[in-house]
A and B are shown apart, each in its own frame.
Chain A
Amino acid sequence: EVQLLESGGGLVQPGGSLRLSCTASGFTFYSYAMNWVRRAPGKGLEWVSVISDSGGSTYYADSVKGRFTVSRDNSKNTLYLQVNSLRAEDTAIYYCAKGNLGQLDYWGQGTLVTVSS
């Protein structure tokens, strides 16, 4: 059974940083691209980033480019999102999702990031 478990969210002040993790099981992690998607309170889903299966290619939404960094450790079956220079508008539930764009199939339960002073 495919499982994706996010962690690392929490309350952080504006300008602060966090590292989000997504631990995967039930599939060959190193064979699949992985994505981060977020949903802010009262808003819709927003695509954040995708990383290729090897980790060699990464892509970001314009709203997070230069502040967020996606990475993965295939030996640990874990996806990461380093979020820096956080703003109030980054407050959201962050989900990891398995697959290439157009082929996302499984989603985690999400981790909440709250940016507030």
Chain B
Amino acid sequence: NFMLTQPHSVSESPGKTVTISCTRSSGRIASNYVQWFQQRPGSSPRTVIYEDDQRPSGVPDRFSGSIDRSSNSASLTISGLKTEDEADYYCLSYDSSIQGVFGGGTKLTVL
């Protein structure tokens, strides 16, 4: 199995842009879709990106996803940060044996 590595925490000011990375330890990042989820304290996870870079309806276009084959990583970028974006963010991918793997999560602080 592979691992997905995320920064433990990031912080940025309201109105700014932040990028959270998710690096795959083995196997190609482009081999399987990457998703991103937001989880606020006491709430269920919310899907913010699916299929690498697709945004579900209802998710603001301030959220965008991408993959970088050269660094074997995926990224979630949130622009125009709002205090309501403060949450834990997780990436998820899977392998050919159909086992899901989450990243360790990144705590986003908007201050």
Contact = CB atoms under 8 A, between A and B. Distances in A.
Interface string A85-117: 000000000010101011111111110000000
A47 B44 contact: no
Contacts, number: 76
Given A102-B51, A104-B50, A109-B44, A35 B100 contact: yes
Chain A residues touching B, range: 20 to 34
A103 B50 contact: yes
Interface residues of B, number: 28
Contacts of A39: 39
Interface string B41-59: 0001111001100001000
Contacts of B63: none
Contacts of B105: 44-45
B23 interface: no
B99 A102 contact: no
B27 to A, nearest CB: 14
Interface string B13-57: 000000000000000000011110101000011110011000010
B94 A101 contact: yes
A64 to B, nearest CB: 11
A11 interface: no
Nearest to A60: B99
A10 B44 CA distance: 18
Contacts of A18: none
Contacts of A103: 33, 35, 50-51
Q: 5 shortest A-B CB distances, which residue pairs?
A: A102-B33, A47-B100, A44-B105, A101-B94, A59-B98
